[in-house]
Each structure stands twice: as C-alpha cells, then as structure tokens.
Structure 1
Amino acid sequence: MFRTIRISRIISRLLISLVLMVVAAGMAFAQDRRQNTPGEFDFYVLSLSWSPSFCEQASERGNGGRSGAQCGGRPFSFVVHGLWPQYERGFPEYCQRSAEWLDRNIMTSMLDLMPAPGLIFNEWKKHGTCSGLGARAYFETIRKARAAVKIPEEFLQLSEPKSIAPDELEAAFIKVNPGMSSSAVSVTCDSRRLSEVRICLSKDLQFRSCEEIDRRACRRDQVLMPPIRGG
C-alpha cells in the first residue's frame, strides 16, 4: 500500500513538472517568435532614471564609492538608463554574445547622458546588440531619443525633496511633450522613491502606446523624489 502511495506521489510530481515545462515553453513561444534576433523588434523604451534616487540607494547599500561621477558633485536629475528594444509582449536581450568590446571614444561621448562607463557597456551588451545597429549608430539613436523628450522644468533643479503621485508625474511629462499620451509613459518606483520614467517610442522615435510597459508601472499613491545633488 505504502509503495503504491509512493509511486502515485512520484507520478504526480512528474506530471506537475511536465505541466510546468509545457506552460513555460508556451509562454516563451507566446512572447515572440523572433526572440533575440538583432533588429527584429516592435518599439523602443527610453528609460530615464531619477539620479538622486539611484545615489541614495547606492549609499544605503554601501556602494556610494562605486557610483562614480553620477553621484559626485554634478547636479544630475534624469539620466538615461537605456534605450531598450521591445516586442509587443516581452523583449530581446543579449542578442550577440560575442559583443565584448565597445570603443572607448563611443563610451566617453555618452557620459553626459549616461554618467557611468559600466552602465554604457552593459546597455550595449544587453540591449544595443538587439537593435540591429552598430555601436555608434545605437548610441546616436539614444541621443536622438533623449533629445525627443523634454523634461518638465520643475524637475531640472529640484532642490528640496518632493512627494508626488505617479499620475501627476506622468501628466507633467505629457504636458510638455506634444503627442505623448498616458499610455506611452509609465513611472517605476521602489518601496518609497521614484526610480524611472519610461517612455515608449516607435523605431523612428515617435511617441507610441505600450500597454505591457504601462501594466508594470508603480502602483503607489505617492513617490519621493530626493533632491538633486550639488545643485
């Protein structure tokens, strides 16, 4: 009897494992058939990180010394985290595993927008290789995407901590960016602070809706924007 029960449990576990494998395979297939094919994607997400939040988090983790120029004396507000190729569902990443090198001149040319060499290199490996562009063209596209988005004036020299509703922050961006809708921008946060504003752009860098990105937005009533350093 006990042997029969044991065999039944083993069979049940095997069936559960098989079901989970089938579900996982189905989800991967449903994500996109073009998975990780360079240049084959639907739109971009421009991710703008609120630098003061990043620096506070780095300090709390004891990594403040590793944050380099971003958390020094320069008054950074929103900085570019990345420009990410996306599918309508899911996203590609690390599309060229051999992309181990990035020209130093390209890296240094981006430090005004992305003030961390390690970030620039990682963004190229993880996301840039999926754009179908060469490194120089990819980072030129990042610069164009950033130029296409206007930062609301009230956030450029924030000297005091500010508590703000995510919807209010989105509305501020929509107000100063004609053509941007609420379905094209979303806000992310940690347990209490603003993390990023993410803006969806077509391949030709026009604002466009992106429901999946919007579903992953911050659900807090209010988020804290720490003040800009060195301002």
Structure 2
Amino acid sequence: MSLRAWHRPWQRLAMALLVSVAAAFVAQGAGAENAQASRVEGAQASGAKETAPLAGLSGEGFEHYTLALTWHPGFCASRSRPPQECRDPALREGTDRGFVLHGLWPSLPERFVERGVDRRRWWRDGCFLETPRADGSFCRAHPPLNLPAELDRRLEAAMPGRASCLDRYQYAKHAACLALPEAAYFAASVAMVEAVNESAFGAFVTLNQGGEVARNALIDAFEAAFGEQSGRTLRLTCGGRGNRLLTEVRIGIAADRLADFPAADSLVRQARGRCATRVRIARFE
C-alpha cells in the first residue's frame, strides 16, 4: 500500500470531524429559536406536494436532474455587470448563510433524442426548442408563476434571482415542456436547496466564506456529508481570474431516485469542473 493510500482513510476521518464541527457551529449560531421556527413552518406547509415535495415531482423520459446551486457572493463578484439581485442590499441579505437556487435541470429527454437533438443543444436551448423564447429579459420567457403563498415565500428566500425573473426563465427553459407542474417543480427545488444548506457540506462552505480552501477539501467535505465516492456527483464551478472564485455547485440526481435525495445512492456522476486547486469562497462586505 502506498503512503498516500494509507493516509486517505485518516484524511476522510479528519474531514468528517471538521464538517461535523462546522455543522455544529453554524447550527449553534442559528439558534434554537430559528430551528423551532423552521419546524413549525414546515408543519404548516399546505398540500401533499409541500409535505412530500421530492416524491411529488415525477421525472419520466429523462435520466437525471442537475441541481444548480449558486454561491451568491461569488456569483456577484464574478459579474462585470451585476444584476439587480447583486446590487440591492435587501436581496443579498441572508445569502451568506448558504447556497441559493439557480435551477433544477432535467437531462436530455428521450423524445428529444428521437428528434435528433444532442446533449449540447438541449443544455443550450432546452424547452425553447419547442416554444421559442421571446426576445428581451427573463421576464418575457414565461408568465408570472402561480405558487401557493408558503412556497412562494420560501422560493423568495431561496432564489434572489427572482428579482430578474430567473424563476420564470428557469421554468420555461427546463420544465415547461416536460409536464412538470410549477408548484411541484419549485417545491422540490427549494427542498433540495434547504437540504444542502442544512448539511455538513453547506456548513463547511458557510464557515469558510471570506477565505480560501483547497478544491479537494470541498470535495472531501461533500463526501463526508453525503457518503463515500459521492464527490464524483459534485461539479464545482468557478469564475474570476484563474477560476479561483467559487460561483456555483452542481449535483447530479437520478430522476427515479429524487425522493431519496440526498442519499448517496440517489446521486449520479458528473463531469469535473474547472476550479483551480485553491478556491476562494467570497463573502459580501
């Protein structure tokens, strides 16, 4: 056995301990009152799709989803022309406590394969292949969403990009042509954002904001939170000079195992990202 292989189990143990400490630290900072409030709000969510959001979203005709979660301070720092959600202090409030929602993206559907659409074209155009996107801002991509009040409030907190109509654009591009109902689609999306942020991985990223970590430390933290070898299901996205600024993480999830998320056997492999070996986790000043 090589020295590196011998050290690997100890590195995993050390990372598991580190992310556990991070989770405990962040949970303590949030306070018992917030935890109790979250439990009450969860109990008050209305309808079956709110109480079991992941089980309420079917995924027929495609293999997996990609859950795209933005690290908001990093995204904003990487933009030469920051959108409204980066400029308005009210829309930045609370985003330093975890990831925010970019989107939930179904993989290439079989019926599009039968029409000769390849993966690259699907990722570029999505449902706009059938219903072309109107010119102009994201707000022209789809009418305003009609969501239950509680879900609308949770989505507002989870997706500051709604200020730029990101929610309407994401639904129009990735869900509207696949018989995925608006409420079920966003209830599942919000539930998964919350699950990641409440995990030890989410705590590790939050605890390290304003600093720099090794890229492999992020992957190890993910594995410590979600299971052995789950790091291959995580794609890190970075921007800025030298691709050193964390802007987003993407997680692959089997469409027929969505209700089991974030169990390790619900996750699917993804291509590696292009982050540098050292990654900066920005924070809002």
Settle same-fold status: TM greater than 0.5.
yes
- Structure 1 stretch 138-147 or stretch 193-202: which is displaced more? 138-147
Q: Structure 1 residues 82, 70: CA separation in 2 closer, same or farther (over 3 Å shift)?
A: farther
Q: In the alignment, which residue of structure 2 is the partner of 1:134? A: 181
The secondary structure found in structure 1 opposite 2:77 is helix
Larger Rg: 1 or 2?
Answer: 1
Going from structure 1 to structure 2, the CA distance change for 1:112 and 1:180 (only over 3 Å counts) comes to: farther
TM-score by structure 1 length? 0.67
Task: Establish whether residue 116 from structure 1 lines up as the match of residue 116 from structure 2.
Answer: no
Instruction: From the superposition, tell whether residues 116 and 168 of structure 1 become closer, same or farther in structure 2 (CA, over 3 Å).
Output: same
Cα offset, 1:71, TM superposition:
5.1
| 1:153 corresponds to which of 190, 203, 208 | 203
2:38 aligns with none
1:224 aligns with 2:250: no
Matched, 1:94 2:114: no
Q: Deviations over 1:168-227 (max 9, x none)?
A: 2111112112366122112111132112111111123243222xx324x12521221112
Q: Quick one: distance in 1 between partners of 2:106 and 2:93?
A: 32
- For 2:218 and 2:153, the matched residues in 1 are separated by 31
In 2, the alpha carbon distance for the partners of 1:50 and 1:70 equals 16
Give distance in 2, aligned partners of 1:70 and 1:202: 35
Deviations 1:49-68 (CA, angstroms, capped at 9, x unpaired): 1111112124xx24365534
Contact kept? 1:50, 1:194, Cα under 8 Å: yes
Q: TM-score under structure 2 normalisation?
A: 0.56
Q: 1:49 to 1:65 in 2, by over 3 A?
A: closer
Question: For the structure 1 residues 156 and 70, does the alpha-carbon distance in structure 2 shift closer, same or farther, using more than 3 Å as the test?
Answer: farther
In the alignment of these two chains, the number of paired residues is: 186
Deviations 1:15-65 (A, max 9, x none): xxxxxxxxxxxxxxxxxxxxxxx942110011111111112124xx24365
Larger helix fraction of residues = 2
How much does 1:116 deviate?
2.0
Structure 1 unmatched ranges of 5 or more: 1-37
Q: 1:187 aligns with which of 236, 242, 262?
A: 236
Report % sequence identity: 24
- 3-state DSSP of counterpart to 2:236: strand
Q: Alignment RMSD, CA only?
A: 3.0
What is the one-letter code of the residue matched to 1:209? Answer: V
Q: Which residue matches 1:72?
A: 92
The answer to whether residue 236 in structure 2 is matched with residue 198 in structure 1 is no
| TM-aligned CA deviation for residue 87 of structure 1 | 3.6
